Structure 1
Amino acid sequence: MLPAVRAGALGRWRSPRNLLPRLLSSSAGASPARPQAAALLELSEVEKVLRDVRAGDVRVFPVGEGGLHGGACADYMVVATGRSDWHVRNIAQALLYKIKQKQKGSDRILMPSVEGQQAGKWVVIDSGSIIIHALEERAREYYDLESIWSKEVSPNTSVQELETTLVKTRRRNLSQKPMKSI
């Protein structure tokens, strides 16, 4: 049965009258109304969704042109806190739902890249021009993304502290054998 289905599908593809429209529709410039990755969500929409799901401590960092890192990855970085794993996954789900609703009725639906949704401690949604990080409270304290993406300069550590940090420590001999001298 499978070869028959495959032959029918290939037969329709090979017919000359269907070939030209298929080639034109698969080209990159064929559909001008196609949504761009940079316009999946606006910053105001992201902030409204985060407010609606009661995400805590929402911070927005401009990282685009003129931002801290020169726009290498996005225009804005949004960091929000969830109270639990379930809340973090719910934040991500609400943002994905908003993206789907915004693209309703279009020919193609572009979905953002989502990482960490199964675990729920830290979910990252890359929606093109905005990257959203939703973290659980303890994960946010541990990773401290604000110190990486903010423009504030961290206080300088003294050279003495740096030297003591970089000193190589030798492992203690816990075996019963005496240490051999070299």
Structure 2
Amino acid sequence: MDENEIKNLISALEAEEADLESQLAEVASILKRQREKLILIKERNRTSAVSPDELQRKTFTNLLTKVTHPNFPSQEHLHDQIEFVMRELGRSVRKNDVVKKYEELSPEANSIEWTLRKMRKDEKIIAVKFNGNQIFYLLPEWVTMVDGKKAIKEQYRPSKKDLPTGYNTLEWI
């Protein structure tokens, strides 16, 4: 192949690529619309079986659940939101407690599991294992040094309900 043939081939392949990208965008658009229609149909079917009084109660409840803590940083980065949740909880807690409180404060939230792992890796939160199997999360400033060893400040320790028999071992993970 000479130079002109290669240029022509490249030009033809670029045109074909542009055409395929256009077709793919169109398919994606159609797929999105169909998924939205499916959601609407499911919602309509779900609510059509509900009495008007029940529908009104559900609507009111949905409005109430969208109300979050007045100081919740909903427009901030997810790390800041999780830190806010930790401060609201005010003590070392299990991951499920963090997730539950986060969902309570931000009902439209996505999963925070990955962000919690990232924050642990970046040392923005700390994980501690009590008695070899119970993992709790806490903020770095809730840790102090006692006799050259890390310790959780008294006011940030897990509640007696979470560790009713106390703990024998403490492992920083």
Higher helix share: 2
Q: Which has the higher contact order (CA 8 A, sep 6+)?
A: 1
TM-score range, shorter chain: under 0.3
TM-score normalized by the length of structure 2: 0.22
TM-score normalized by the length of structure 1: 0.22
